[in-house]
Structure 1
Amino acid sequence: MKFYLSSAAAAVVLMSGFGAAMAQDVIVVQPEQKTIVREYIKKEPLASVNLLGVELKLGSPVPDTVQLREVPNVKYRVAVINDQTVLVDPETHQIVEVLN
């Protein structure tokens, strides 16, 4: 009985640690940065890159072949993929925001 209780306690500790680690990976793009990107795109339109099979969601990788444009005063890079504007972390090439 003690073995099961210890295993259950260990599982709870591991899962809570896993949840904390996952929470650290969440990236929040500030509304001001989204506004800056939207205004930039209006002034400097980007051509859309059509990529078949690429799912545009948070954490999805963007192929290295996609050119990422730097936006002044914004940490992330911007690209337009499949007619959707996305913000991409330049270090990991992962989508951090899909703008509507």
Structure 2
Amino acid sequence: MKMHLLSATAGLAILAGIGGAAAQDVIIQPQQETVIREYVQKQPLASVQLPGVELNIGSTVPDTVELHRMDVPDMSYEYVVVDGRTVLVDPGTRKIVHVLR
């Protein structure tokens, strides 16, 4: 009985973790992405190389990389250009939240 209770508790904890992660997904609306693209074109940055860092949602951008603020309404993320791609980063965690295609 004790083993079943532990298994059930562990299963619920895993599901709660998955739900929490899904709730934190960042959705950039098409209109926002258009505004971001226009802003980045007007404020060009040199592209940086990040060997060993994959450009995936949740990957961490090293502290050595300078993040740049965007003057875009309702946008609290900063950005950097990596390998020619604009990457939105949460400045508090330095985690990638969106990669513009």
Q: How far apart are residue 5 of structure 1 and its match? A: 3.7
Instruction: Name the % identity.
Output: 42
**How far apart are the structure 2 equivalents of 1:90 and 1:9?**
37
Q: How far apart are residue 52 of structure 1 and its match? A: 1.3
**How far apart are the structure 2 equivalents of 1:99 and 1:52?**
19
- Is 1:56 paired with 2:55? yes
Contact 1:29 1:96 in 2 (8 A): no
SS in 2 for 1:79: strand
- Length-normalised TM-score, structure 2: 0.81
Structure 2 runs not aligned, ≥5 long: none
SS in 1 for 2:60: coil
**How far apart are the structure 2 equivalents of 1:10 and 1:51?**
40
Equivalent residue for 1:35? Answer: 34
Q: State which drifts further: 21-30 or 3-12.
A: 3-12
CA change 1:77–1:8 in 2 (3 A) is same
SS in 2 for 1:86: strand
CA change 1:12–1:50 in 2 (3 A) is closer
Superposition RMSD on alpha carbons, in Å? Answer: 1.8
Greater C-alpha radius of gyration: 1
Equivalent residue for 2:79? Answer: 78
Q: How far apart are residue 19 of structure 1 and its match? A: 2.1
**How far apart are the structure 2 equivalents of 1:51 and 1:11?**
37
Structure 1 runs not aligned, ≥5 long: none
- Length-normalised TM-score, structure 1: 0.82
1:31-80 CA distance string (max 9 Å, x none): 33211110012222111011211111101111122121111122211110
